[in-house]
Amino acid sequence: MGKRLAQRDVKPDLILSSPATRALATAEAIAKALDYGRKYIVVDDRLYACQADDLLEVVQALGDQPKSVLLVGHNPELSEFAHLLSSEITHLPTCAVAEFRFATKSWAEVGKIPPERVVLDYPKKKGRGAP
């Protein structure tokens, strides 16, 4: 999925990862595919064994910077969080990437306004490649 993000020129300012071994390995693989160093990855204990509302609080606390963030965590929490942001997404398959764009400059608004754009991509998606 990291290669597909790179093909779409996705450039998060920050990668927030759960401390779990698999999640962190995924974050590192994505960072490598994006030609990012480890410095872009921040391990956040709040992303492990949490609820969708906890993830929303983490995102809302980001303030005005960074402009784009990639969360790497676990299901069912990430699926529930994605559904909280948009009813278009009901489930995130393994290794899925859900992209949300919001018409706001403050992360505090996320969850209060609907996203302008929602993209869901995952390894087994038909038509593989950039959505």
Tens of pLDDT, residues 16-49: 999 999 999 999 999 999 999 888 899 999 999 9
Rounded CA gap, 82 and 92, in Å?
Answer: 8
Look at residue 75 in the predicted model and tell me its pLDDT: 95
Per-residue pLDDT tens digits for 80-102: 999 999 999 999 999 999 999 99
* pLDDT tens digits, one per residue of 55-87: 999 999 998 889 999 999 999 999 999 999 999
Q: Where are the domains of the chain?
A: 2-121
CA pair distance 43, 45, nearest whole angstrom: 7
| pLDDT the model gives residue 98 | 95
pTM value is 0.89
Class in CATH terms, 2-121 = alpha beta
Whole-number pLDDT of residue 50: 95
Q: What is the structure's pLDDT at 12?
A: 94
Query: What's the pLDDT score for residue 113?
Result: 97
